[in-house]
Amino acid sequence: MKKRSIYGLGLILMLVLSLVCGCERYEPAALQKDGVKTVPEEGFFGFGGNRISEEAESGEAGESPAEAQESSPETEAALEIETAPEREPVKVKGIYLGANAVGVSDFMDRVIQRIDETELNAVVIDVKDDYGRITYQMQGVPLVDELGAVEVKIGDMPAVIRKLKDHGIYCIARIVALKDPYIADQKPEWALHLADGSLFRDNKGDAWVNPYKQEYWDYLVDVAKAAGAIGFDEIQFDYIRFCTERGIDDVVYDQEDTQGRDKISIITELVGYMSDKLREEGLFVSCDVFGTIIGSPIDAQSVGQDYNAMAEEIDYICPMIYPSHYSSGNFGLEHPDTQPYECILGALTKSRDELLKTRGEGIQQAVVRPWLQSFTASYLGAGNYIEYNAETTRAQIQAVYDAGYDEWILWSASANYFYDGLLSPEAAEAEAESIAESRAALPEETVPPETLPGNAPLEEGDPLPEELSEALPGGELSESDLQILEQDGPLIITEN
């Protein structure tokens, strides 16, 4: 059974700080531990919010109720600290498991065995899927019951989590956020609308939620809290962005909702809001983002995902840097999918350079945990792709380490992974020690000059992002396309 590292939270230090402030609740700055961002949440002072420990409320621990009520704030703070939950960071090496696969017990037994035998230590499981449906019989969220949002694909999720925990496996709940066709149809007042009052629908006919509707933010938080209540360690938000498909420019927004906030402002605010609420529950928070937003103002403004701004709000940021999603010319590669090591290294080098620009004293940044490719993109056509296998899996992982990062998650919609490309737990531990030694000998990083490749905004003649491929036949920009790009960014994003 694998053991996860447990990190203390500095209880004595926190007690001293709370005494100095002389108030019931103190919210100190984020702490950094071995490269993992940990922020003391409200739950640190009494799990679940602003309340003292059960002993202080009930008058237990040798006090009468009257004596408990007369306790000083300092005494309450001490009791709160003693009962606080601790978040336990893990350097994740994970795989994605769709709900349909998790619902098959024999399959899960085989997966757990594979995890036990390899360096893997984490799984990402669908809790709220791409269709807006909750994948198990969730308890404690009235709106889920009211709207009939449950579509059971995993018969006993708590039992699944318990089994994973028995094997020391870190559990991440994937929650698809703003692409929610089910709730958009059930509560159209939360959906994106066109000028005639009809719902906006993407090219698959799916409605999307309006990111400016804070009532929906609270729904996402409630769903995430319920997932945490059954044992998930982390909440990972996917589709935490604006839709950019054809016709999205016709969507109208109420000024009472927008209040002058642009796409980046509202997505960053949403991410920060949910992260703050979930940290109170002792949960880590991560977000999936497009790889092409890194260093590209056009893509960032289009989807509302600012890489650096989001990284300051969450614990982990997960760029989807699948080699198949990059067009010819990116990172100097003619066919990126055929060179997975070079592509991943290029994307993560760009990530490192971008984050260095805003790194500074008092600024906490998320741990970068990229998504890697475990599927063959034959749809790219002959000569543009290669078969992905154990060798390409290892090559991508090596690129992560060579870029200076430690964590990764493999993506396969069909949960088809090449376990032969993974190390044993013992070999992985030895590799980690070797990497740590080599990095310790490196000079401190400095902010790269703007002239370095990949740091300048997209200009005429640069390779176009994959997201523009359908919007721009032949890869050429028409005059009208140029005008739209200047205002709103890419027309269509074909993959998430």
Whether residues 60 and 111 fall in one domain: no
What pLDDT digit, counting tens, does each position of 196-223 carry?
999 999 999 999 999 999 999 999 999 9
Q: Taking the mean position of all CA atoms in its chain, how far away is CA 243?
A: 18
List pLDDT tens digits, range 30-58: 333 333 333 333 322 222 232 222 333 33
Domain range for 239 is 93-440
Domain end marker among 82, 105, 130: 82
Pairing of strands 36-38, 31-33: antiparallel
pLDDT of 455 reads 39
User: For residue range 394-444, what is the model confidence (pLDDT) as tens digits?
Assistant: 999 999 999 999 999 999 999 999 999 999 999 999 999 999 998 888 776
Pick the last residue of a domain from 420, 440, 460: 440
pLDDT at 377: 95
Instruction: Calculate mean pLDDT across residues 187-202.
Output: 96
In a domain, 7, yes or no: no
**What is the domain-level CATH number for residue 242?**
3.20.20.80
Predicted pLDDT at 361 = 74
Distance in Å from the first CA to the final CA of the chain: 34
What the block records as the tokens of 69 is 């009520």
Model confidence, pTM: 0.75
Write the pLDDT tens digit of every residue in 104-151.
989 999 999 999 999 999 999 999 999 999 999 999 999 999 999 999
> Considering the domain boundaries, does residue 46 fall inside one?
yes
Q: Residue 322: inside a domain, yes or no?
A: yes
pLDDT (0 to 100) of residue 16: 32
Note whether 226 and 323 are same-domain residues.
yes
Whether the CB-CB separation of 317 and 369 falls below 8 Å is answered with yes
Kindly state the percentage of the chain with pLDDT values over 70.
72
Q: How far is CA 476 from CA 302, 471, 472, 479, in A?
A: 19, 10, 6, 10
- If asked whether residues 181 and 251 sit together in one domain, one would say yes
Residue 96 banded pLDDT, cuts 50, 70, 90 = very high
| Same domain flag for 277 and 174 | yes
| pLDDT at site 232 | 98
Residue 220 within a domain:
yes
Examine the pLDDT at 77 and tell me if it is beyond 90.
Answer: no
Query: How many domains in the chain?
Result: 2
Question: What was the pLDDT predicted at 85?
Answer: 60
**DSSP string for residues in 422-491:** S--HHHHHHHHHHHHHHHHTSPPP-PPPTTSTT-SPP-TTSPPPGGGTTTSGGG---HHHHHHHHHH--S
pLDDT tens-place string over residues 320-375: 999 999 999 999 999 999 999 999 999 999 999 999 999 887 888 999 999 999 99
Pairing of strands 251-252, 193-194: antiparallel
Q: Of 291, 242, 249, which is closest to residue 465 (Cα–Cα)?
A: 291
d(CA 400, CA 412): 18
371 burial level (CB within 10 Å; 0-12, 13-18, 19+) = buried
pLDDT at position 132 is 97
- Do 245 and 296 fall into the same domain? yes
The answer on 249 and 396 residing in a single domain is yes
Asked if pLDDT for residue 470 goes beyond 80, the answer is no
* H or E segment and range at residue 297: helix 297-303
464 lies in some domain: no
Q: What is the model's pLDDT at position 288?
A: 98
Domain match, 111 and 203 both:
yes
Is 70 exceeded by the pLDDT of residue 287? yes
Same domain, 191 and 164: yes
Q: Which of 367, 354, 380 is nearest to 300 (CA)?
A: 354
Confidence class of residue 190 from pLDDT cuts 50, 70 and 90? very high
Between 250 and 360, the higher pLDDT residue: 250
Please report whether residue 358 resides in a domain: yes
Same domain, 173 and 208: yes
So what's the pLDDT on residue 367?
97
Q: Does residue 411 belong to any structural domain of this protein?
A: yes
Same domain, 34 and 125: no
The answer to the question of residue 434 being in a domain is yes
Buried residues in 140-149 as b, exposed as e (16+ CB within 10 A): ebeebeebeb
Last residue of a domain, which of 82, 102, 136?
82
Instruction: Provide the 3-class DSSP secondary structure of residue 173.
Output: strand
Structure tokens at 410: 């493999």
Whether 388 and 373 have beta carbons less than 8 Å apart is answered as yes
Cβ(65)–Cβ(34) under 8 Å? no
Residues 208 and 289 in one domain: yes
- More confident position, 88 or 366: 366
In this structure, the answer to whether residues 371 and 427 fall within a common structural domain is yes
